[in-house]
Structure 1
Amino acid sequence: MTNRIDIFDAQMSALDLGSHPQSLINGELVNGSGDPISLVDPFTELPLTTYNDAGAELATAACHAAQEAQVDWAALSGMARGQVMQDIARAVLAKAEPLAMLEALVAGKPIRDCRVEVAKVAEMFAYYGGWADKVHGEVIPVPSGHLNYTKREPLGVVFQITPWNAPIFTGGWQIAPAIATGNGVVIKPSELTPVTTVALVRLAEQVGLPKGLVNVLCGLGPTAGQTAIEHPAIRKVIFVGSPETGRVVATAAAKALKPSVLELGGKSANIIFDDANLKHACLGAQAAIFSGAGQSCVAGSRLLVHRSIHAELVEMLTAGMNEIRLGDPLDEATEVGPISNARQFAHVSEMVARAVSDGANVLSRESTPDKGYFVPPTVLKNVTNTDHVAQTEIFGPVVAAIPFDTEDEAIALANGTEFSLAGAVWTTDVGRAHRIADHVRAGTFWINSYKAIHVSSPFGGSLNSGFGRSSGTDALMEYTSTKSVWLDSAATPRIAFGYVS
């Protein structure tokens, strides 16, 4: 078997990233000066490499570089920016395999999933590249007779913080709309998974993105992150991650009088009625919670099932989860990899243990690999909607199966948390499907489907799931500000005050 450090080194070399993770500042790979950070392979639980926290000094340099590069980038025509973004999309596809391999190694995601996500990143740059020359304002027929029109202008420099569960995906998700609208970017991926974000921006620079326009900080939130938030060049803060950290980020941004967009957690309800196609619903339920080892903000972690079919559906679900192939993320056959890091592994394990102590019955997969941060696909029965495990995000392959009797009860249960990110319903009753979609509080809602997400559709939530929207044209608006321009074309100005001699 090939040494995994050798595999890691080979992908780093193929992507021109040097021998270890480094921040990318003004087009140059730069070592941090802070505390050492280990990158750990979640399959072997062994270090792949170490690097140093970027620290405050590199964060300041990143903000300065983005501020300088943004002026010329914003001055380009939208078509010119769009052409560069189309080139980036092609460059990502050309390096898809080393990008996917590196993501699989560091984040623990199955290689088959990583290839899909890399392709989606290319699609993001192509999609927003097409929008770059189509962001415009409107003419407003104001009653005064003035010509009044609006312009959408770039904010300047934005600071983006992305998570460890889908680093390259969320990197593209945020960078693409920001630069399409003329902004500069400072981005801090999770310190646990920084390398594919650096690789993405390095590829972009190699095909024409101005150096310094997008800068990547490899480091910690309290040092590099806090410094970037406070820097006067930063005009907006975008965070993707947990509600706990989101509160810290939003508070820091608010203290600096800067707006923020928060894409936080979920406790999404996956509702199955007794008239649903149970085979389809069972497959949807497995995809909703077990794919990606449940490490998704939209995971269907509460399975609400009509009481008349509850036992049958749970039996189908548990039988199916024993067929899911767990294993090495680099193995082509692997469908579910390990939990991405030791801290999250401990959290998921503790959540299951607490559910058991609260009275839940555990149905879990019969076996798991003998190494790695693996949590077996797990179904919890005898859970109520008010239990801790039904109210708190687990972020692992663990689902609470809760019965309901009526449509109104299903809606009440679905809305019975402080989250509102996503949800789904499985039914053949079209009227019911739309009623449920209307009444369940969620930013994204699926009917007879789950996890269908595309860059062209807005995404986000409310309450503990955050605020603001990513993707779609809504993301373009998040990265622009509106200027209202008034022109008085009358022969005599419409000013009814003052004196002139």
Structure 2
Amino acid sequence: MSGPVLENYIDGAFVASGATETLELVNPVDESVLARSPISTGADVDAAMRAAERAFASWGRTTPSVRQKALLRLADAVEAHSAEIVAAQCRNTGQPAAVVAAEEVAVGADQLRFFAGAARLLEGRAAGEYLEGFTSYVRREPIGVVAQVTPWNYPFMMAIWKIGPALAAGNTIVLKPSDTTPESTLVLAGISKGILPDGVLNVVLGDANTGAELVRHPTPGLVSITGSVRAGIAVAGSAAQQLKRAHLELGGKAPAIVFPDADLEKAALGIAQAAFFNGGQDCTAATRLLVHESIHDEFVAAVAKCAEQLRPGLPDDPDSFYGPLNNRGHFDAVLGKLAALPAHVTVVTGGKRLGDKGFFVEPTIVTGVRQHDALVQEETFGPVLTVQPFTDAEHAIALANDVRYALASSIWTGNHAIAEKFTRALDFGAVWVNCHIPLVAEMPHGGFKYSGYGKDLSAYSVEEYTRIKHVMSAHD
């Protein structure tokens, strides 16, 4: 193996892991080996937890204004180090550099500023005499040390979504980034030096076994993961053994439902972009197009035309819409699903690998799928959009809700009554109307059913990282 060995960030310093095993970090653009990452051991995790525990003794008692100032300074530092963050992330993901700069770094700085404000706006019931002779009030307190695990699809942004609310609430952190995309998170940790007290933010590298060490460790009071359903179930089960709280943001299988009265040109472009942004490696991606039978053929043709213009490319190519899939295992899995399509499915566009180097896949649209096909029911997490016709509103709602995921959805119509009906009936944590995929810091993100529980973003996510204490004082 070749390349430098990355280091953990513990107690305000980069330190070598005690691990004897390492992982190769592979550039998904050209499949070259970039570096090696340690599979951190239980001893590494324990060192990070002890550092976080020591830091909580003071950080947990800071005032909201102190935490606000730190988060604002961190946001400024993120912007100042944008080029470094983008370069680090593009090495690991192959994403278009302009997209990382605009959609993760700039947006991440804005989200940190939101959490800086949210630090000073925690809410609880008013103090009062709910029992004669006694006054009661509520304290909302930080949990303590929290363990966090982030995925590889948006490494930097997901790190911000984790640390922002946790720090705003006064917690300290041990975070494990994905084993394939750790570098932008390490840059974030490095620029936090001198802004956050030592030990407040710790980053431990490794694989699923290292993540399991985080969850099993007795110190954290909450474990938060963004990842697959399989990983979420494992984390929830392990956390339950010690009655730890879990925060799970898992997969999605989002429908985009199109009625004939929609602005079809706008809908075709919007759905194509929502399906293929980041190569479809997005849990909120539009993965299932449900279109009224009366416009099925013409609308599929319109979406396919848009899709063919959203081509993948290299990080420095200003015309590329998305980059490669993240890693060899995922790339092979997506191509395997496309190679095993049932006979009743028609590939309208795409369906193949692009080029002979790197993990690039064409934007793909398939029709003729049936509701119980694996391609409809299971998350592909790639640039694949399935299409199904529907006859009326009730049929569309039944098709949309008949999956185990419940994260995101969209309805496209010019009829206000239809839109209102669907915002109530769709069983998903987010419902977009005449758009699909925009997110804002002020609104919560999270799903139901197999998409997990708990909210990212918004003041609700800060509440996730707090505990509530009732205080009652006798008057006499």
User: TM over 0.5, yes or no?
Assistant: yes
Q: AA paired with 2:266?
A: H
Q: Per-residue deviation at 1:333?
A: 2.3
**Residue 11 of structure 2 is aligned to residue 26 of structure 1:** yes
Structure-2 residue corresponding to 1:388: 374
Structure 1, unmatched stretches of 5+, are 10-18, 492-501
1:219 and 1:395 map into 2 onto residues whose CA distance is 22
Q: Per-residue deviation at 1:387?
A: 1.1
Structure-1 residue corresponding to 2:116: 129
Secondary structure of 1:290's counterpart equals helix
Structure 2, unmatched stretches of 5+, are none
1:335 and 1:410 map into 2 onto residues whose CA distance is 30
Structure-2 residue corresponding to 1:413: 399
Is the CA contact 2:84–2:187 (under 8 Å) kept in the aligned structure 1? Answer: no
Q: Per-residue deviation at 1:143?
A: 3.8
Cα 1:324/1:143, change in 2 over 3 Å = closer
Q: Per-residue deviation at 1:367?
A: 8.3
Is the CA contact 2:273–2:307 (under 8 Å) kept in the aligned structure 1? Answer: no
Match of 1:359 among 331, 340, 344: 344
2:37 and 2:452 map into 1 onto residues whose CA distance is 31
**Residue 106 of structure 2 is aligned to residue 119 of structure 1:** yes
Match of 1:59 among 25, 37, 45: 45
Q: Per-residue deviation at 1:358?
A: 4.7
Q: How many residues align?
A: 471
Q: What does residue range 441-452 of structure 1 map to in structure 2 within 5 Å? A: 441-452=427-438
Q: Per-residue deviation at 1:423?
A: 0.1
1:292 and 1:77 map into 2 onto residues whose CA distance is 39
2:263 and 2:111 map into 1 onto residues whose CA distance is 33
Secondary structure of 2:419's counterpart equals helix
Q: Per-residue deviation at 1:70?
A: 1.1
Structure-2 residue corresponding to 1:171: 159
Is the CA contact 2:5–2:38 (under 8 Å) kept in the aligned structure 1? Answer: no
Match of 1:84 among 65, 70, 74: 70
Q: Per-residue deviation at 1:20?
A: 4.2
1:157 and 1:183 map into 2 onto residues whose CA distance is 6
Is the CA contact 1:288–1:299 (under 8 Å) kept in the aligned structure 2? Answer: yes
Structure-1 residue corresponding to 2:388: 402
List 4+ stretches of structure 1 deviating above 4 A.
none
Structure-1 residue corresponding to 2:219: 233
Encode CA deviations 1:332-383: one digit per residue, 9 max, x unaligned: 22211110111111111112122x2352111223983442101110011111
Match of 1:314 among 297, 300, 315: 300
Match of 2:138 among 150, 170, 185: 150
RMSD value, Cα: 1.5
2:130 and 2:211 map into 1 onto residues whose CA distance is 47
Structure-2 residue corresponding to 1:304: 290
**Residue 233 of structure 2 is aligned to residue 269 of structure 1:** no
Is the CA contact 1:110–1:330 (under 8 Å) kept in the aligned structure 2? Answer: yes
Q: AA paired with 1:360?
A: V
Match of 2:171 among 162, 169, 183: 183
Q: Per-residue deviation at 1:141?
A: 4.1
2:21 and 2:383 map into 1 onto residues whose CA distance is 33
Is the CA contact 2:228–2:251 (under 8 Å) kept in the aligned structure 1? Answer: yes
**Residue 299 of structure 2 is aligned to residue 340 of structure 1:** no
Structure-1 residue corresponding to 2:268: 282
Is the CA contact 2:405–2:448 (under 8 Å) kept in the aligned structure 1? Answer: yes
Q: Per-residue deviation at 1:399?
A: 0.7
Q: Per-residue deviation at 1:462?
A: 1.1
Q: Per-residue deviation at 1:136?
A: 4.1
**Residue 170 of structure 2 is aligned to residue 200 of structure 1:** no
Bigger Rg, which one: 1
Secondary structure of 1:75's counterpart equals coil
Question: Identity percentage over the alignment?
Answer: 34
2:197 and 2:318 map into 1 onto residues whose CA distance is 37
Encode CA deviations 1:10-51: one digit per residue, 9 max, x unaligned: xxxxxxxxx542110111112221411011110101111113
1:453 and 1:136 map into 2 onto residues whose CA distance is 23
Q: Per-residue deviation at 1:81?
A: 1.1
Encode CA deviations 1:68-109: one digit per residue, 9 max, x unaligned: 001111221110111011000000000111211221221121
Q: AA paired with 1:165?
A: N
Q: Per-residue deviation at 1:327?
A: 1.2
**Residue 199 of structure 2 is aligned to residue 212 of structure 1:** yes
1:297 and 1:192 map into 2 onto residues whose CA distance is 18
Q: Per-residue deviation at 1:470?
A: 1.1
1:151 and 1:126 map into 2 onto residues whose CA distance is 24
Is the CA contact 1:101–1:114 (under 8 Å) kept in the aligned structure 2? Answer: no
Is the CA contact 1:139–1:147 (under 8 Å) kept in the aligned structure 2? Answer: no
Per mean C-alpha deviation after superposition, the further-off stretch among 358-367 and 314-323 is 358-367
Q: AA paired with 1:164?
A: W
Secondary structure of 1:225's counterpart equals helix
Q: AA paired with 1:46?
A: S
